[in-house]
Chains A and B, each alone.
Chain A
Amino acid sequence: MVSAATVAPAAPQSLSLPPPQFARLQPHAYLLAHLSPPVASNQPSARANGRAPSQFRVTSANSGSLTHTNGSGMVRLGDTTAVCGVRAELLHTEDIPSWSVSQSSNANKRRRLADSIKLSGQSGDHEETEAEVEEDRAHIEDLNLLVPNLSLSTGCAPGFLPGAPPAALTQALSHKILSLLHSTRLVRAEDLRVWYQPPNLGPEELERHNDEEHMDVDADEAESKPAEIKAFWVLYIDIMIISLAGNPFDAAWMSVLTALRDTKLPKAWWDVDNETILCSDSIAESRKLSLRGLPIPSSFGVFEADAAAGWRAVVIPDGEKLKAEEKKGTVQKWILADPDGYEEGLSQERACIIVDKEQNGKTVIVSMEKHGGWTVDTEDLRQLVDISARRWDEMKQIMDQC
């Protein structure tokens, strides 16, 4: 561009547009021109924002800056910023309708399951039994112990009116986060329970034993004094998207992760005198949540050189020839990692892959979704999983630093 200007400095302005105007008037052509530069120009194919197709934006995370939260996190994904605050409140079991009923039936079920396991002789101490998994799920999901809410009405983008009820995107994101929290079983129900061990009231107990001498004392003690759950911690997870420039889900979920990793719950106990739950404000007695794994999402958008080609082949009956051409791979597409707001507007097909890694470095696909088109095939998805696995390593490092 500079050389052209020096060659013909006096030439009148031709009918050309400066790049920002071109980008606004012809967004599709603008991005296409960037991704497929003329062969002669010898430029590498890059996106309009200068990134390579599989390159994510600069990400930073920090935690613990908000005073009135149990845990907080902020994640910046380029220009997209999400702030998440976790507030813990107590749900007393007496406030849960029909708690005692469901509890006694559950206890029976648990005992039966435990018996069956004992009979078959395969009880493992460290492995979670099926009953525990089910109880974990029942407590967290049925009692709504995790309450994530995302807010876009912060003036983060012009399209979302502040003060209006949550838009469709807001509701979709909130529910996606909720279902991911449930399906990954990220938070352990055990961390959220407040137990109470009823004291052994010595003399009265002894008297009773004397009266009923025929009963087995040991068994009686074990039966009459089980520890009971008095309350649950409810985690209100509120995410404010402060700035929206594409890919809100990745930013929101990672801010939730950062905040949950930072969350400290105070030590809580049932106070018999006050008949309520009291907490200790000492940091030394509080404990952090022990999360299961670290699921990291990677979102992709698909940009097609000729978006209508595939559809035309279906709609127009004599488009068989076109279809044959397409099979040969003449249709060009780019899978763009971490699309920004501009690219999101140009891509119909989206993919989101959430991966986690086990201790031994094995990659586990937690969730994989793709919608809006049919250009991404299984081979592409396999590559995307590899990209997501690399992204996991990168994010793990960022999260460990904050």
Chain B
Amino acid sequence: MNDRRRVNGPPGGTRPPVYASLLETGTGAGDRSQRQRQPAELRKICMHDDNLSAPAYQTNLWHFRTSVLKTGLIPSASGSSYLEFEPSASLTAARANPKSLIPPSSALKLACTVHGPKPLPRSAAFSPNLVLTTHVKYAPFAARKRKGHVRDSSERDLGVHLETALRGAIIAERWPKSGLDITITILEAEDDRWWGDAPDSHDASWGMMNVLAGCISAASAAIADAHIDCLDLVAGGVAALVSNDSTNSSSSAPRLMLDADPAEHRSIVSACVVAYMPARDEITELWLKGDSSKASLAAGDQRTGHEALIDGAVDAARGAYTVLAEAVRESLQRAFDQS
């Protein structure tokens, strides 16, 4: 059982710290961060302005002051990208004026590399198409709970979803007998719920859906950076039906929010991720989870809950697409400058 190829901790195992403030229920847990954005407003992927105050851009891992969807940071790969979400207002406030060791929410940070197209190993069977391999791994320190070094089922699941999303966009028949490896390292993941909430029936891995949307956009930028022919850039988008009431009364039907941060809402009823190609108006991957039967939409809106949810996710993907296009333009500019 002991993995001799890694440095192992104490054989008896260790326990994560328990904070005293969490045991005293209701007090000390602080306030849940509130969503500052409009329902249809996305979190910013880019634009850390130059005139922001110092702490605001220090939260950014690479200390970039401009775009945080960057390509070409990893020169040994054929294509690479790095994506970071703007931290929520509460996280920025907590950074600027630290009081508690428990972070109020987290901001997605991930790095993606593309290796290839490269010849398949001799032992591999003949393939007339490009063989796509996707690999998603959380860093051990990415989430609130420490992750292991070996991929678990959720990470493999993310890899499969990502592969489906990209396969529809890449023109695979142009590279027979070759392989393409896409690797994503998640340095900081999204929470599944607010840390102060007790687990309840609406719990699911909502954070994973936000992570998947980020993975799709980042991988798409990295593929474009590697100059691999695609039908279009694939953008990932998330929409969710959220209810801020703990009671399940019919008067407060869940409302539609684009790009919902699970840490900012009492409960997420249902969520949807799409991988969307705007130029062809085509969805390559759709993942809908939860109960979307009840939704409070605008008056006269005849759509059912899940239709509204999918439309919302597509809108979110369109928003991500503009950032993606900007990042790819930058990558091409760099390629022209070099040649």
Contact = CB atoms under 8 A, between A and B. Distances in A.
A282 B99 CA distance: 6
B61 A74 contact: yes
Interface in A201-243: 234, 236, 238, 240, 242-243
Given A85-B140, A97-B12, A64 B149 contact: no
Q: A62, A65, A79, A88: which has the most chain B beta carbons within 10 Å?
A: A65
Contacts of B14: 89-91, 95, 234
Nearest to A86: B141
B6 A166 contact: yes
Contact of A65 (B6, B61, B80): B61
Nearest to A84: B141
A144 B10 contact: yes
B15 A92 contact: yes
Interface in B59-103: 59-63, 73-77, 80, 91, 98-103
Contact of A268 (B17, B60, B118): B17
Contacts of B58: 62, 64-65
Interface string B125-142: 000000000010101111
Interface in A162-181: 162-163, 165-166, 171, 174-175, 178
Contacts of B100: 281-283
A147 B9 contact: yes
Nearest to B17: A279
A261 interface: no
Contacts of B59: 65
A162 B183 contact: yes
Interface in A139-162: 143-145, 147-149, 151, 153-158, 162
Given A89-B17, A286-B101, A238 B151 contact: no
A156 B113 contact: yes
A116 interface: no
B98 A283 contact: yes
Interface residues of B, number: 64
Interface in A231-282: 234, 236, 238, 240, 242-245, 264, 266, 268, 271, 274, 276-282
B187 A83 contact: yes
B52 interface: no
Contacts of A60: 63
A68 interface: yes
B300 interface: no
A153 B140 contact: no
Interface stretch (B19-27, B209-217, B266-274, B281-289): B19-27
Contacts of B253: none
Contacts of B80: 155, 243
Interface of B is mostly: loop
Interface of A is mostly: mixed
B139 A238 contact: yes
B17 A72 contact: no
Q: B16, B111, B113, B187: which has the most chain A beta carbons within 10 Å?
A: B187
A166 B7 CA distance: 11
B191 to A, nearest CB: 9
B76 A279 contact: no
Given A66-B188, A67-B107, A89-B146, A277 B76 contact: no
B9 A266 contact: no
Interface in A63-107: 64-70, 72, 74, 79, 81, 83, 85-92, 95-97
B13 interface: yes
A66 B16 CA distance: 18
Q: B19, B115, B139: which has the most chain A beta carbons within 10 Å?
A: B139
A149 B149 CA distance: 9
A154 B137 contact: yes
A37 interface: no
Contacts of B77: 155-158, 243
A372 interface: no
A90 B12 CA distance: 11
A151 B11 CA distance: 21
B181 interface: yes
B96 to A, nearest CB: 12
Contacts of B182: 155
Interface in A46-72: 60, 62, 64-70, 72
Contacts of B141: 66, 68-69, 72, 85-87, 236, 238
A166 B75 contact: no
Contacts of B228: none
A341 interface: yes
Given A162-B137, A278-B20, 17 more contacts: A62-B61, A68-B142, A79-B75, A81-B73, A86-B141, A89-B16, A97-B11, A148-B7, A155-B112, A155-B181, A155-B185, A236-B146, A243-B80, A279-B101, A280-B21, A281-B19, A341-B76
The 4 closest A-B pairs by CB, nearest first: A155-B183, A85-B141, A155-B113, A95-B12
